[in-house]
Amino acid sequence: MPATVKKIGDKTRDTWLEQSYLIPVIKGLLITIRHLFSRRLVIEYPEQKKVLPPNYRGLHMLTRDEQGRPKCVACEMCSTACPADCIRIVAADGGWADSREKYPVKFEINELRCIFCGLCVEACPEDAIDMTDMHNLADYTRNDFIYDKERLLAVYDAYIKLHPEKARRADRPFKAMKHSSNFTVSDVEAANRNETKAH
Amino acid sequence: MEPFLPYIFMAVMLVVYLSSVPGMIIIERRLSAWLQYRVGPNRVGPFGLMQPMADALKFLSKEDIIPLHVKRWLYLFAPALMVFPAFFVIAVIPWGVLTLNGKEIFIQIAQTNIGILFILAISSLTVYSIVFGAWTSNKYALLGGLRASAQMISYELPMGLAVMSMIMMAGTLRLEGIVQYQMDTVWGLFQQPIGGLIFIITAFAETNRLPFDLPESEAELVGGYHTEYSSMKFAMFYMGEYCNMLTAASLITLLFLGGWHVPLVSSMGLEPLTVQIIQIGGFGLKVALIMLFFVWMRWTLPRFRYDQLMHLGWKWLIPLTLANIVLTAILMAIFR
């Protein structure tokens, strides 16, 4: 039995009705007029804010332990994991007075280099580095985007003030913290001001 | 009173047409947004109604750049030539008729016997503005200008031929006469469906609106013929485009939608003046609806490819209009 070949799509010319574009145009007009009566997919930003997903990856923060020290033990696993190479840590010996072997003297994250992949959070064995949902970062110079240890801790302080329930999170399902979209630059600035007042 | 009437009409019409340009801009921007699930400009003033004012202020206060490589007089002449015919053709567009002191007065600046010819002649001057603007500017603009000239020439033919069939039926070139003929019989679109449809299509092409905006085609040619224009000179191209749309919409209304004829209103037993004012309002409403249709169409269709444009113009519209004229002539010879 010879194989039957069915030609598909051998239409070389459109029909005259198709060539005249009339029917497609009317179809298109009906589609667009339907858009007129449907919901607007717009979030009018300063007034309305998008509800961010719970595992949103925004600005970093350095968490504190029970004594208020940074949890970080300066193991440099985050800076090793970082694909953008934006974390710089200077470690120092904790000494016998401190219960930690190492602690970070300097801990800097260049938020302009950061690609917000969250690998540092994944890598951290101490849950010392975590991410907030803050994404509306704005500043005047590039240097202002290099967040040092104090600023990252201030981010934590401001964040924890808004979400006290997030202070102890040993057994959480996600590495990244639950979020709230109310967290803004001004919160961090307020926390920074309180910090300087305390000193 | 009587000798001043044209001047009064002139003032009123100029104000109405000029102020409907910013109105159209805000309507187009809001409507286009709604058609795309957006909200459009809603910040300036209530519901964003002051947006055209803000735009105009911006245009007026922007730096006026004249590139060094352009032919200066041609560069400055082009935007003026865009606005001039757009406002010039308003002169012969009638809005309606008023009976004052027992005399019928057409609301029209200049009553001529060649109204429709005048409009076709003057409105085709627009292509010179585009070509001049394109010629002095740069290579992208030149491509836009070349497309514009080819497009306008090939679509002016079917436009004139489509009007021709309506002129044959009405037996006059006067626009008010054509409207009167439609009032006596039925609207032109029902008498000349093919002619009407083709006229509407060519009106899109003549005003360079999508799907016929090849002269501009911002995706390929930067901005087309007005690439090198900034501030108020760009705004004049913009104004000219909208004013051309207004005259095109008025023409469609006058030729094929019965002009100021409002069905049933004359048989309701109202006073003649009331009827006439309703009719003028009806004319405005029809023009406004066609303008909305222009916007609706623009945000529905993508741009034609150049060969598709030429194909549609020469292989479809011109033979169809010619056949339509012959058919009309035969039918007229048989039934009259």
A21 lies within 8 A of chain B by CB? yes
Which tops the pLDDT comparison, B15 or B266? B15
DSSP codes joined into one string, B109-161: S---TTHHHHHHHHHTTHHHHHHHHHHHS-HHHHHHHHHHHHHHHHHHHHHHH
CA nearest to B118, candidates B163, B55, B151, B185: B163
What is the mean predicted confidence (pLDDT) over A122-130?
87
H/E element holding B98?
A: strand B97-100
A30 and chain B in contact, CB less than 8 A:
no
Q: Is A13 on the interface with B (CB under 8 A)?
A: no
**pLDDT confidence bin for A157, thresholds 50/70/90:** confident
Mean of pLDDT over chain B: 85
Closest listed residue to residue B318, CA positions, set B200, B164, B162: B162
Query: How far B304 CA sits from the closest chain A CA (Å)?
Result: 11
Q: Regarding beta strands B103-106 and A87-93, do their DSSP bridges make them parallel or antiparallel, or are they unpaired?
A: unpaired
Average pLDDT over residues B264-275: 79
Closest-CA distance, B39 to chain A, in angstroms, reads: 7
Residue A177, token pair as written in the block: 């913290």
**What are B193-232's pLDDT values in tens digits?**
888 999 998 998 888 887 887 777 777 777 777 788 888 8
Q: Of A7-11, A62-66, A119-123, give the range with the top mean pLDDT.
A: A119-123
User: B6-33 pLDDT, tens per residue?
Assistant: 788 888 888 888 888 888 888 888 888 8
User: What type of residue is A9?
Assistant: G
CA dist., res. A108 & res. B27, Å (int): 51
Residue B211, preceding bond cis, omega within 30 degrees? Answer: yes
Nearest CB to B37; choose among A20, A29, A35: A35
**Judged by CB atoms within 8 Å, which residues 82-121 of A form the interface with B?**
none
ipTM over 0.90: no
Q: Which residue of B has its CA nearest to A25?
A: B301
pTM, 2 dp: 0.76
**DSSP strand E in chain A: where?**
60-62, 87-93, 102-110, 129-131, 146-147
**Taking each helix axis from N to C terminus, what angle separates A185-198 and A149-162, rounded to the nearest 10 degrees?**
110
Contact B300 A41 (CB under 8 A): no
Q: Do B37 and A36 touch (CB under 8 A)?
A: no
* The pLDDT of residue B289: 92
Note whether A155 and A59 are within 8 A (CB). yes
Chain B residues whose beta carbon lies within 8 Å of the beta carbon of residue A35: 34-37
Q: Tell me whether residues B296 and A19 touch, CB distance under 8 A.
A: no
* Pick from B37, B312, B316: CB nearest A40: B37
Q: Name every chain B residue with its beta carbon within 8 A of the beta carbon of A39.
A: 37
Q: How far apart are CA A135 and CA A149, in angstroms?
A: 19
Indicate the residue type of B201: I
Identify whether the C-beta of residue A116 lies closer than 8 Å to the C-beta of residue A58: yes
Of A29, A38, A40, the CB nearest to B39: A40
Note whether B35 contacts A38, CB cutoff 8 Å. Answer: no
> Do B210 and B301 touch, CB atoms closer than 8 A?
yes
Cα separation, A85 vs A116, whole angstroms: 12
- In Å, how far is A186's CA from the nearest CA of chain B? 25
**Would you tell me which residues 42-61 of chain A have a C-beta closer than 8 angstroms to some C-beta of chain B?**
42, 44
Average pLDDT over residues B232-242: 85
**Test mutation, B35, B300, B310, B318, chain A, max A CBs within 10 A:** B300
The answer to whether the beta carbons of residues B254 and B179 sit under 8 Å apart is yes
